[in-house]
Amino acid sequence: MSIQVNERTGVFSLTTAHTLYQMKADSSGVLLHLYYGQKTDEDMSYLVRTADRGFSGNPYEMRNERTYSLDQLPQEYSGSGVGDYRVSAVQVTGANGSRSVDLRFAGVRTEKGRKALPGMPFVRESDETETLIVTLQDKVIGLEAELRYHVFPSQDVIVRSVRLLNRSGQEMVIRKAASACLDFPFGEYDVLHFHGRHCMERIPERMPLPRGVVSFGSRRGMSSHHSNPFVILCERHATEKSGECYGAMMVYSGNHLEEMEVDQVGGVRLVSGIHPDGFAWTLAPGEAFETPEVILSFSAQGLNGLSRQYHDILRQQVIAARWRQPRPVLINSWEAAYFDFDAEKILNFARAAREMGMEMLVLDDGWFGKRDDDSSGLGDWVVNERKLGCSMRELSDRVHEMGMKFGLWFEPEMISEDSDLYRAHPDWALTDPDRKPVMSRNQMVLDMSREDVVDYIYKAMCAVLDEARIEYVKWDFNRSVANVYSHALPANRQGEVAHRFMLGTYRLLERLEARYPDLMIEGCSGGGGRFDAGMLFYCPQIWCSDDTDAVERLEIQRGTSYGYPVSAMGSHVSASPNHQTGRIVSLNTRGIVAQSGTFGIELNPEKLSETEKDSIREQVRAYHRYQELIADGTYYRLTELDENRDYVAWMITSRDGSEALVSLVMTHVRANSPFPYIRLQGLLPGETYQLEGTDRCFTGAALMHGGVAVDQAREDYEAVQLHFVSTRKKG
């Protein structure tokens, strides 16, 4: 039993393999957070201490108890306007204009398993999942909050979300509805967040939490390149291998906010949810609002330990089970041809890719409507047969005849000003009345909050998907959202548009999934602008970045790995000099970096020499050999963040510890330099491992404690890959 409701003490305990989470309603009905961290067998309520702090007022019923203040009690879901001055979890305006919310305990129940979150991505139940539902109420305004906790014991994960229900007889407006609030009574924490920009996503930044509020988030209508919906709080001395770390990851792809506050006495509060800026959701009597989910996890095994828990929960319970199989190695036409192609060129790519051992051809942007550059055509999902020289059916058939699968690019949520769709339905774009829209990449954003728009795009996509033989869709999203105004909603509902937009996108994804269960969708947003657990629910892999430079990718993929598994990272070998940076990097290094992901190429085979083709053929062969290990294995970052600037190293160990793939890229060669010593992880100490391609053998203990000197890379950007296999496995 991972959930215990102790009738005697009133303590609710959530237990996972290594963690304990506890809460309890006090005598005033305030739901106190007692503890989250390493497992103990104790009632942790002794941790809650109070004192008369001054300027921290008391609820009326406790007016004679000056040590009792919401301003210092650790809480599960803080209200607002009633004496807790820290960042709040929920804000609501009632019919009389009052903004105060004061939630008190009203009931608790447990459920085996978990219910789906309708219309939104969620963490799928496992055999072990149990759910705790705590109901809080503010009887004055008639607001009910159902706090949900889904426990995933083996992965050391607790998933939280909230359902807000209007039990009053009048409308109320939700201004803020966080998915989770987590209070720590003490702790000196660093925060790690993942910032970035187009072509440089999820760059980790670590800093001590100062007094006051630190927040990260996105108001771009998408989870964004700029701030991933994932934060880590860790002990100041935590490293990749040791120290206590907490993670909070939203299962959501739209606007989000992560707030961390260190209060007057050093307590820490973390609040995570939909960004309240621009958000206002009207609830009629009897209506409910569901927040997205947040995945909480704790590890005492350092940052690597925490990452592994996120990798596991995403691979096992978020990404659909049917994608737990080798995914096709692909050639994508984008950097190979951009908009300049016809069917013959594409077929030549497919033929060459097939000869190099690849399994799928993906036709990127430019196959539809009027689309020879990015100035027109989005929304007109009609095959441009004149440009191709044949129908999509014929093209896809001919690709299949070569023994290859076929994939196609779409950007379903966008509309070009110069498109038949926009000419017919200008009101289908998100635009402010009487105001010229903000343009970005010459395009506007479709109003996905409208059912008729979702329906139209669904049918337009189905027409193409039904006509041709298509196994894969690349789902792109190439601008931030602005002019968040729906012409189908009244003035007082415009604060709902950004979230309704996401619900519309999820609905479209769900409808397509229901109709084409075998269709693999790769997420993309100008690279990795929507790399989040919400999209991973529908898309087993996401294009990591439009920056395909292998050296830049070291940072991008490393940063991504804090929260997300390599099996989700779209990564390809592209041209050298690289199209984004002009950097020249060897094919060997480009291959090794792309192999720590879904692997494919983004190259024009016509420009490759026979030697290069042979090398790529060898890379594809190696990837096929390691594919299961890479997709399913345990990932370790072997170099500390900012520890050294000379090389980056990482490894993947199979779950049974029988083999490991170690990769190292030299980023800065120095004269007379020390050897890069790498200590391996996750091996079996007593096992003997042979280094592939040599007759050298080592015990797991030697490799993990003594390590190996990886000194073969002697030039900037040169890479080394070492494969160790247990001699028992080799037989």
Nearer to ligand DGJ by C-beta: 379 or 495?
A: 379
Q: Which residues pair with 369 in a beta bridge?
A: none
What would the DSSP string read from start to end of 361-427? EEE-S-SBSS-SSTTB-TT---B-HHHHSS-HHHHHHHHHHTT-EEEEEE-TTEEESBSHHHHH-GG
How far, in Å, CA of 515 to CA of 521, rounded? Answer: 13
Residue pair 596/624 in contact (Cβ under 8 Å)? The answer is no
Q: Which of 524, 573, 666, 680 binds ligand DGJ (CB under 6 A)?
A: 524
Per CB under 6 A, 546 contacts ligand DGJ: yes
Nearer to ligand DGJ by C-beta: 137 or 545?
A: 545
Nearer to ligand DGJ by C-beta: 227 or 478?
A: 478
Per CB under 6 A, 527 contacts ligand DGJ: yes
How far, in Å, CA of 69 to CA of 228, rounded? Answer: 34
Least distance to ligand DGJ, CB of residue 478, Å: 5
Q: Please work out the total of residues on this chain that contact ligand DGJ, with binding judged by CB under 6 A.
A: 11
Report residue 284 as tokens. Answer: 């009629």
Nearer to ligand DGJ by C-beta: 144 or 476?
A: 476
How far, in Å, CA of 575 to CA of 123, rounded? Answer: 38
Per CB under 6 A, 230 contacts ligand DGJ: no
Which stretch in 102-110, 135-143, 453-461, 521-529 sits in contact with ligand DGJ by CB under 6 A?
Answer: 521-529
Q: Which of 532, 546, 659, 718 is catalytic?
A: 532
Nearer to ligand DGJ by C-beta: 151 or 361?
A: 361
Q: Assess whether 452 carries a catalytic annotation.
A: no
Q: How far is CA 507 from the centre of its chain?
A: 19
Q: Assess whether 427 carries a catalytic annotation.
A: no
How far, in Å, CA of 36 to CA of 31, rounded? Answer: 15
Nearer to ligand DGJ by C-beta: 372 or 614?
A: 372
Residue pair 411/378 in contact (Cβ under 8 Å)? The answer is yes
Burial of 604 per CB tally in 10 Å (0-12, 13-18, 19+): middle
Least distance to ligand DGJ, CB of residue 528, Å: 8
Per CB under 6 A, 600 contacts ligand DGJ: no
Q: Which of 543, 623, 626, 717 binds ligand DGJ (CB under 6 A)?
A: 543
Number of H helices, E strands in the chain: 14, 38
Report residue 27 as tokens. Answer: 């005598």
Per CB under 6 A, 522 contacts ligand DGJ: no
Per CB under 6 A, 376 contacts ligand DGJ: no
Least distance to ligand DGJ, CB of residue 364, Å: 5
Site string for ligand DGJ, 397-436 (x = CB under 6 A): ------------x---------------------------
Nearer to ligand DGJ by C-beta: 417 or 716?
A: 417
Per CB under 6 A, 597 contacts ligand DGJ: no
* Residues in 468-507 that interact with ligand DGJ by CB under 6 A: 476, 478
Nearer to ligand DGJ by C-beta: 183 or 364?
A: 364
Nearest to 638 by CA among 353, 307, 401, 417: 307
Amino acid letter for position 372: D
What would the DSSP string read from start to end of 573-636? B--SS-TTT-----HHHHHHHHHTTT-EE-S-GGG--HHHHHHHHHHHHHHHHHHHHHHHSEEE
Strand-pair category, 647-653 with 659-666: antiparallel
Nearest to 633 by CA among 702, 682, 686: 682
Least distance to ligand DGJ, CB of residue 199, Å: 9
Least distance to ligand DGJ, CB of residue 447, Å: 21
Per CB under 6 A, 560 contacts ligand DGJ: no
Q: Which of 612, 646, 711, 716 is catalytic?
A: 612
List of E strands, 492-555: 520-523, 541-543
Least distance to ligand DGJ, CB of residue 195, Å: 19
Residues contributing to the site for ligand DGJ (CB under 6 A): 334, 364-365, 409, 476, 478, 524, 526-527, 543, 546
Which residues are known to be catalytic?
532, 612
